[in-house]
Structure 1
Amino acid sequence: MTEYHGNVHVGGPVQTHELPQLMITKVAVGPMDNNAYLLRCRQTDEQVLIDAANEAGTLLRVIGSGGLARVITTHRHGDHWQALAEVVERTGATTVAGRYDAEGIDVPTDELLDDGDRIGVGQSTLEVIHLVGHTPGSIALLYDDPKGPPHLFTGDSLFPGGVGNTRGNAENFTSLINDVEAKLFARLPDETWVYPGHGADTTLGKERPSLPEWRARGW
C-alpha cells in the first residue's frame, strides 16, 4: 500500500487515505487543478463525492461501480461543479450544498446545508462548518475520526499558506479569517488533517503559527 501524502496532479494517479472506518480518495482534475474527494464507508460501501469539479469521466472512473449517494459542493464557484450535472445524471446522486451558495450553482441542490448540520457517509458522519468570506455560503466538512485525528475538507476557505481568496475585499477577508480562526483553529487540534480544494494537503498545526501573519497582511 502506498503511503498517503496527498500530492496529486492532473492526469496522475489518485491517492487514497485509508482510515479505520472511512476511505478518502483524492484526485486532481483540470484545467484549474481542482481536488475532488471520494469518501467510502468501509462498513457499508456507501460513497459520497466532495466537489464534482471537472472531468466527469475521471470522477466516474474513481467512483466505479459502487454507486454514489451524494455529491457535496463546497461553494458556488464554477470550477468546483463543472462535472456535477453529468455525475448526477450518471449516478442518480443527491446534490448537497450550503444554503447561501446553492443559488449560484447551475445544477439544482436537493439538500441545503446550514452550520452544524450532519451528513452521513454510511456509518460515518460529516459535520458542516459554514465559513463566510470566500463566498457567502462556503462550507467545510469535518470528519471527526473516532480512532484518530480529525479530517477537514476546506474547499477554497483554507489552504497551506493562507485563507481563500477574497479578491481584495477587506470585509470578506475579515469575515473569513475570523471564521477560520474561531470555527477551525480554536476548536480543532494541531493534528487535524486538512484537504483543500486545490493543491497539497496540510495540517492545522503546520498553519497555526502563521495566523497572525495572515491577518496582518490582509489576505
Structure 2
Amino acid sequence: MSDYTGEVVPGGPTAVRELAHLVIRKASVSEQDNNAYLLTCRDTGEQLLVDAADDAPRLTALMNEGTGWLDAVVTTHQHWDHHRALPDVVGHTGARVAAGADDADALPVPVGELLHHGDRVTFGHVVLEVIHLRGHTPGSVALLYRDPEGSPHLFTGDSLFPGGVGNTQGDAERFASLIDDVELRIFDELPDETWFYPGHGADSTLGAERPHLPEWRERGW
C-alpha cells in the first residue's frame, strides 16, 4: 500500500503493506517495542511469522487479520525478547519452526529447520532467502524477499536498524564481524531501494543508510 510507513506502537493497530504476491503485516507486541511480522502468500493464503516476540493473544489476532492459520515461524535470533510467545504460538498452531543453526539450541522449543547462509524458507509460493549475520548473536539471520514486481524487502532482526548495526556489547571482534557481514552480505548485494524491517522500531531503506556506513565503522557501534 502506498500509505505504508511501518510506524507501529505497542497495543496499536497493524501496519499493512500489500505487494503483488505477498502481504506484510507489522505489529508491536511488547514494552520493548518488539516488531512481529506476519507474511501472507496472496496465492495460497499460507502464512509465516517473523519473531513470536511476545503477547500470544495479539499474535493470534494478527494471524486472524490474515487467513487465520500459520504455516511457519522464523526466529531471527536467540535473545529472549524475540521468542517469549514462541511456545504458545507453536503449541496453538502446530507451525513449523526455523532459526539460525547457531542460535537454535537457545530457543524454548525444538527447531525443525536449522538455517544457514544461502538457505531458503518457503511458504506458499513465497521464497525467503536466508542471510547469516554474525555478531549480534552467533546465529542471527535476516530474511530477504525479492519481489518479482518491485524492490526487495529485508527482515533484519536486531542486526540492522536505521542508524546502525545491532548491539555487540562493546566487543570489538563481534562488532567487526557484524559490520563486515552487513556491508558484504547486504549493502554490497542489494540496491538502495531495498526496504528493511528491523526487530524494533521504524523501518528504513538501504539507500537512506548507505552513506553512513563509514561513520558506523569509525564509531565502532
Residue identity opposite 1:146 in structure 2: P
Partner of 2:100: 98
Give the alignment's Cα RMSD to 1 decimal.
Answer: 0.9
Partners of 1:33 and 1:170 lie apart in 2 by 27
In structure 2, the residue matched to 1:55 is 55
Equivalence map 1:115-130=2 (5 Å): 115-130=117-132
CA distance in 2, matches of 1:147, 1:111: 28
State the number of aligned residues.
219
Unaligned runs of 5+ in 2: none
Amino acid at match of 1:49: L
1:75 aligns with 2:73: no
Cα contact 1:192–1:203 (8 A) shared by 2:
yes
Match of 2:193 in 1: 191
Given residue 30 of structure 2, which amino acid in structure 1 is its aligned partner? G
Question: What code does the residue aligned with 1:85 have?
Answer: P
- Structure 1 regions of 5+ residues with no counterpart? none
Equivalent residue, structure 2, for 1:131:
133
Match of 2:162 in 1: 160
Deviation at 1:121, TM superposition (A): 2.3
How far apart, CA to CA, are the structure 2 residues paired with 1:206 and 1:3?
19
TM-score of the aligned structures, taking structure 2 as reference length: 0.97
Q: Report the Cα offset of residue 66 of structure 1.
A: 2.5
Look up the SS of the partner of 2:73 in the other structure. strand
Q: Would you say 1:169 and 2:171 are equivalent positions?
A: yes
Contact residue 53 and residue 79 of structure 1 kept, 8 A: yes
Q: Secondary structure of 1:103's partner? A: helix
Work out the percentage of aligned pairs sharing the same amino acid: 61
Seen in structure 2, the aligned counterparts of structure 1 residues 142 and 2 have a Cα distance that, compared at 3 Å, is closer
Aligned AA (2:8): V
Question: What secondary structure does 1:3 align onto?
Answer: coil
